[in-house]
Amino acid sequence: KKYPSCNSPRQSPVDIDETFTQVRLQYQNLQLEGWNSLTAESTTIHNNGKTVAIDVDGEFFVSGGGLRSRFRVGRITFHWGRCNATSDGSEHSLNGMKYPLEMQIYCYNSEEFQSLDEAIEKEGRVISLEDNENLIPVVEAINTSGSVEAFTLRSLLPNNTDKYYIYNGSLTSPPCSEMVEWIVFKHAVPISETQVSTLNHTHAYPQNWPNVTLNYLFKRKKILHRIKPFKYTLHHYLYNHENADAST
């Protein structure tokens, strides 16, 4: 097979079952450096026919929380479902429950690699509501490839980032390299049904099938495994338009 790692035992995504989790008191709070600053006006969003991604350039770092070094933010990707009435858009699940949308913020060790792509190539360690105004720049640009209005990374996170799950896993698409440390926050982030609907109707281009909904192209079969979370570098957030708690 072209990507043998996709059949390896430590593949992501997973179902995080809280009954199997362990509390590690030695993990301190995450340190988010620069996350309250606006992204550059030159920040771009692009539809690659499989998902929508935002390339982030700037002084945005994460450390602490058990990480052995400081990691730079490189890219944000989004994953969502086909139908607005279902909650099966996220790749990961918590206690068997999926969410309408999942955002993944990829970070890499900038002391060892020049870019996120280099870190992946060399297999280095990589980590009903009203409209959520913090997501408006992203949602409005979701069907385009070009610049996106400046926003703060912190505004995309849950208010409470103290509780999270960590585990060693893989990229969720080929080459499926098992070089990713994941952080999954316990608290979801609110998103309106209107915004979810906009994502549901986002289509792939420039593929041969211009009206095929994103995230349903080239999907490999994924089996969610129940795991005992323990370690991480890729930041991963779940969005819920029904049960998200915006105040804790």
The whole domain housing 54 covers: 4-240
Q: Is residue 49 part of a domain?
A: yes
**Mean confidence (pLDDT) of the chain:** 76
Whether 103 shows a pLDDT value over 70: the answer reads yes
The pLDDT, as a whole number, for residue 152 is 93
Structural domain tally of the chain? 1
The predicted model scores a pTM of 0.79
Better-scored residue on pLDDT, 47 or 39? 39
Sorted by sequence, the CB contacts under 8 Å of residue 223 that are 6+ apart come out as: none
Contact between 30 and 62 under an 8 Å Cβ cutoff? The reply is yes
Q: Is residue 245 part of a domain?
A: no
pLDDT interval class at 50 (50, 70, 90)? confident
Q: For 52-68, how does the pLDDT look when each residue is reduced to its tens digit (9 = 90+)?
A: 899 999 999 999 887 88
Q: Is residue 102 part of a domain?
A: yes
Q: Which of 162-176, 196-210, 222-236 has the lowest mean pLDDT?
A: 222-236
CATH number at residue 35: 3.10.200.10
The pLDDT, as a whole number, for residue 241 is 45
The pLDDT, as a whole number, for residue 200 is 74
Better-scored residue on pLDDT, 214 or 40? 40
Whether 120 shows a pLDDT value over 70: the answer reads yes
Q: Is residue 215 part of a domain?
A: yes
Report d(CA 109, CA 115) in Å as an integer.
Answer: 9
> Structure tokens of 167?
């585990």
Better-scored residue on pLDDT, 182 or 204? 182
Q: Is residue 248 part of a domain?
A: no
Q: Is residue 28 part of a domain?
A: yes
Contact between 217 and 49 under an 8 Å Cβ cutoff? The reply is yes
